[in-house]
């Protein structure tokens, strides 16, 4: 018998993420060939801010199909990747075997991290397109704190929440940036996203998603309340995908404002340490 359709917002999201794994692996957006050939999927911002991670025990939250996790392993970290998509975790394990890189992958929701992966990590890492999938940012922060050893470090690189306020389909940067959504929103935004960001030509079956907006203040306060001390909060005028139509490619890895146009904070990064 076919199971009834999921009603839990996170389960609805999980179906979506399960569906896009193979599409992502085959896409140009994710450079699987580069990682298979011995290279890295990590961008220069992350590489410079993360620094030397050799020998560090690292937990990668929302690791998708493991491309970044394996790149972190290649930098010498002892890595565990966690994701709630069983397709993503299967693909990550297969990629680890194929590349011969040592990595552990566990399937579960973020808040299950300590049960599934332990609580003695030197670093918890998460990046690019992660927080909008999480309903409870305080639970997320407490999970990070519980996963870290004392003095352990948390690192995040993420899309800036200011981007969510703009009308996205017909905007062009910067003349036509219409503000259509509040920066402060509770509850999930329910989207019908028929097409995926990595492969806009493929119509998806699991087109419904639920996303939550988390402002910068909310994220930082959640981390501080969970017992982490902020080391830096950097805002950047670049992002690894064109968050607003009209953003232009910069230095290969990033998109930014066109020449001469006003610059917005398109992304931000955080480093924090467990007290
Ligand atoms: C945009 S991807 C992150 C991609 C990652 N930066 C990378 O390049 O590999 C978001 C990931 O979050 C995962 N995810 C979403 N909600 C989750 C949850 N509640 N618990 C665990 N994983 C989740 C999805 O399965 C997906 O792999």
Tokens standing for 228?
Answer: 């982490």
Q: Which two tokens stand for residue 39?
A: 């290279």
Give every CB contact of residue 172 below 8 A, 6+ residues apart in sequence.
Answer: 245, 246
Ligand 1 atom at minimum distance from 18 CA = 25
Asked if 266 contacts 163 with a C-beta cutoff of 8 angstroms, the reply is: yes
Q: Closest Cα to atom 26, ligand 1: which residue?
A: 64
Q: How far apart are the CA of 99 and the centre of ligand 1, in A?
A: 22
116: β partners? none
Q: 175 CA to middle of ligand 1, Å?
A: 33
Which residue segments constitute the domains of the chain, with CATH numbers given? 9-274 (3.40.50.150)
Q: How far apart are CA 119 and CA 107, in angstroms?
A: 16
- Measured from the CA of 112, which atom of ligand 1 is nearest? 20
193, HSE (Cβ side, Cα atoms, 13 Å): 20
Q: What is the pLDDT along the chain (275 residues), one digit of tens a residue?
A: 667 777 899 999 999 999 999 999 999 999 999 999 999 999 999 999 999 999 999 999 999 999 999 999 999 999 999 999 999 999 999 999 999 999 999 999 999 999 999 999 999 999 999 999 999 999 999 999 999 999 999 999 999 999 989 887 666 788 878 898 999 988 898 988 878 888 888 888 898 999 999 999 999 999 999 999 999 999 999 999 988 888 999 988 999 999 999 999 999 999 999 99
Dihedral sign for Cα 151, 152, 157, 159, please.
negative
Q: For the whole model, what pTM was predicted?
A: 0.96
Q: How far is the CA of 134 from the centre of ligand 1 (A)?
A: 10
Please report the atom of ligand 1 found closest to the CA of residue 69.
9
46 lines ligand 1 (CB under 6 A): no
């Amino acid at each position: 018998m076919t199971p009834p359709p999921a009603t839990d917002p996170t389960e609805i999201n999980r179906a979506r993420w399960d569906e896009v794994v193979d599409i992502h692996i085959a896409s140009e957006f994710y450079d699987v060939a580069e990682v298979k050939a011995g290279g890295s999927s990590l961008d220069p911002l992350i590489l410079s801010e993360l620094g030397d991670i050799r020998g560090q025990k690292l937990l990668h939250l929302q690791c998708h199909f493991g491309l970044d996790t394996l790149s972190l392993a290649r930098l010498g970290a002892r890595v565990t990747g966690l994701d709630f998509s069983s397709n993503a975790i299967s693909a990550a394990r297969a990629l680890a075997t194929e590349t011969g890189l040592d990595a552990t992958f566990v399937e579960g929701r973020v808040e299950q991290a300590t049960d599934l992966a332990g609580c003695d990590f030197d670093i918890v890492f998460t990046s690019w397109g992660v927080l909008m999938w999480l309903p409870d940012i305080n639970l997320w922060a407490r999970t990070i704190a519980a996963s870290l050893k004392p003095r352990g470090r948390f690192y995040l690189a993420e899309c800036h929440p200011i981007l969510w306020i703009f009308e996205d389909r017909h905007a062009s940067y910067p003349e036509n940036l219409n503000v259509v959504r509040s920066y402060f929103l509770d509850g999930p935004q329910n989207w019908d996203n028929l097409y995926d960001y990595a492969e806009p030509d493929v119509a998806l079956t699991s087109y419904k998603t639920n996303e939550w907006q988390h402002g910068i203040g909310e994220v930082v306060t959640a981390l501080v309340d969970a017992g982490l001390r902020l080391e830096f909060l950097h805002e950047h005028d670049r992002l690894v995908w064109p968050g607003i139509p009209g953003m232009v490619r910069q230095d290969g890895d990033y998109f930014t404002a066109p020449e001469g146009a006003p610059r917005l904070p398109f992304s931000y990064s955080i480093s924090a340490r467990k007290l």
